[in-house]
Amino acid sequence: MPKVTFVNEKKEIEVPPGSNLRQEALKAGVQVNYEVLDTSGGALGRYLNCRGLGVCGTCRVIVKKGMENLPPKKGIEKFTLFRMLSNIGQEEESRLACQVSINGDCTIQTRPGMNWDGENFWQKPFPNK
């Protein structure tokens, strides 16, 4: 069975081949959605998300190792990641946990921050001609 290692949580779980990363993480008690705090101190990210449809982007993760064991990005995942400013400089290793099926061992960083110092972040999006 594939093993998924969660870097931030220092947790390793075994999952059935082909299982969904978001669902397996939640079963193991690993929160993948961003925790946006509201004025009352609650965590809105846990409750205000698309529930695995791939449109909100709150379950964005960074694949540290094992990208070859995950299927390629498809339409909705590509579009959602494309429109996210926090994804700049991390395009290749960013995935949406709700859209990933696990086919082998991988290492995942949940709730990554913005890549402020990435070499691609400060480049001009459209080069001068």
Predicted TM-score of the model (pTM): 0.81
The whole domain housing 100 covers: 3-110
In a domain, 33, yes or no: yes
Residue 9: exposure state from Cβ atoms within 10 A (0-12, 13-18, ≥19): middle
Q: What is the pLDDT of residue 108?
A: 97
Residues 36 and 23: beta-carbon distance below 8 Å: no
In a domain, 63, yes or no: yes
Amino acid identity of residue 125, one-letter, is P
Token pair in block for residue 19? 């299982």
Token look-up 């931030």 returns 8
Average of per-residue pLDDT values in the chain: 84
Q: What is the pLDDT of residue 56?
A: 87
Residues 24 and 7: beta-carbon distance below 8 Å: no
Domain tally, the chain: 1
Lowest mean pLDDT among 19-23, 105-109, 114-118: 114-118
- Which alpha helices (H) appear in the chain, and where do they start and end? 21-27, 75-82
Q: What is the pLDDT of residue 35?
A: 66
Q: What is the pLDDT of residue 33?
A: 84
In a domain, 90, yes or no: yes
Task: Report the CATH number that the domain containing residue 62 is assigned in CATH.
Answer: 3.10.20.30
